[in-house]
Structure 1
């Protein structure tokens, strides 16, 4: 049994890390925590059979943390996600305006005025007083965030579609916007348009 646990522990830990890091929604993250729990349980068994009390103690604590992760992501967060998705789906056949979830903006495809894909949305900045979108940060290029360029597009230059964001500008105009420095985003849409 200890030999099987010795194989299960690292494999489960690696798979769980990939599942949670992939950011593919609440359910995938929740199942990642389930796999982490299996891995921590296997590491605990390895520690017990080899007399490594530090391994037992560390993974006993990790089992507790992983169970909280399962509750949060497969329970509470999945229910939130399901609620948002049900409203989004129902709005497509309703006389009410179509909806999409605000959390769905991150990762949403961004196209130019000619419907050519430019990149994907990273974040939307919303004005507190008016609840209007001040600007959306769009990532272009790169692989897994490496060498990508971030640009802020003013809210009035964006048309929110159900499955994508459409810019009211060409790809060339988008690329002429200044690249954002890491951690130094504009304070307002006006700052974006002044290219500060």
Structure 2
């Protein structure tokens, strides 16, 4: 039994860490916390079997934290996502939750996938979206370019955002710095760097 627990504990903890790190929405994150809870139980059992009180206590505390994560992501946040989905289904015109905007696929005007929406900036005085920050290219953030795409150059649907530019043009453009977004999106946001 001890040998089985010795394998279950690190495997479940590793799987859970990947699930939570993917940030794939309330359900995936919530299920990740369930897997984390299983890992905490296994680590607690191993700590008890091997008389490692510190391991036992630490993982009982982590179990309580994981239960809080399950409640937050599969209870509270999942209900909010369901509420937003219901609003979208009942609306006369298509709607998407502002929280769901980040993570939507971004396509160019020909429908080619170019990346995803990172976030959106909203002007406080008007309450209108100023621009969306769109990540283009790269893998896992490495090698990506960020663009501040003005609201006028976006078309938002429930499952994607269309950017009024072309993938080939964006790959030649310079974009914005990841740690310094502009105060507003310029007219030449997608101009190739050589022009």
Please report the TM-score for the alignment, with normalisation by the length of structure 1. 0.88
Aligned residues between the structures: 191
Matches within 5 A, 1:20-99: 20-91=20-91, 96-99=92-95
Q: Does the CA contact (< 8 Å) of 1:154 and 1:192 recur in 2? A: no
1:80-109, CA deviations, whole angstroms, 9 ceiling, x for partnerless residues? 011111212233xxxx22111112211212
Instruction: Give the deviation of 1:28 after TM superposition.
Output: 1.1
- Residue ranges of structure 1 left out of the alignment (5+ in a row): none
Aligned residue for 1:109?
105
Return closer, same or farther for 1:119/1:133 CA change in 2, 3 Å cut-off. Answer: same
* TM-score normalised by structure 2 residue count: 0.89
Higher mean Cα deviation, 177-186 or 60-69?
A: 177-186
Question: Does the alignment pair 1:184 with 2:141?
Answer: no
Deviations 1:104-129 (A, max 9, x none): 21121222222232221111111112
CA distance in 2, matches of 1:177, 1:147: 13
d(CA) in 1 for partners of 2:3, 2:172: 59
Q: Partners of 1:116 and 1:74 in 2: how far apart?
A: 33
Q: Quote how far apart the aligned CAs of 1:51 are.
A: 1.3
Distance across 2 between alignment mates of 1:172 and 1:80: 38
Q: Secondary structure at the match of 1:189?
A: coil
Kindly provide the CA deviation profile for residues 8-44 of structure 1, in whole angstroms up to 9, marking residues without a partner as x.
1111101111111121211111111111111111111
Distance 1:113 1:31 in 2: 36
Consecutive unaligned residues of structure 2, counting only runs of 5 or more, are none
Contact 1:152 / 1:177 at 8 angstroms: preserved in 2? no
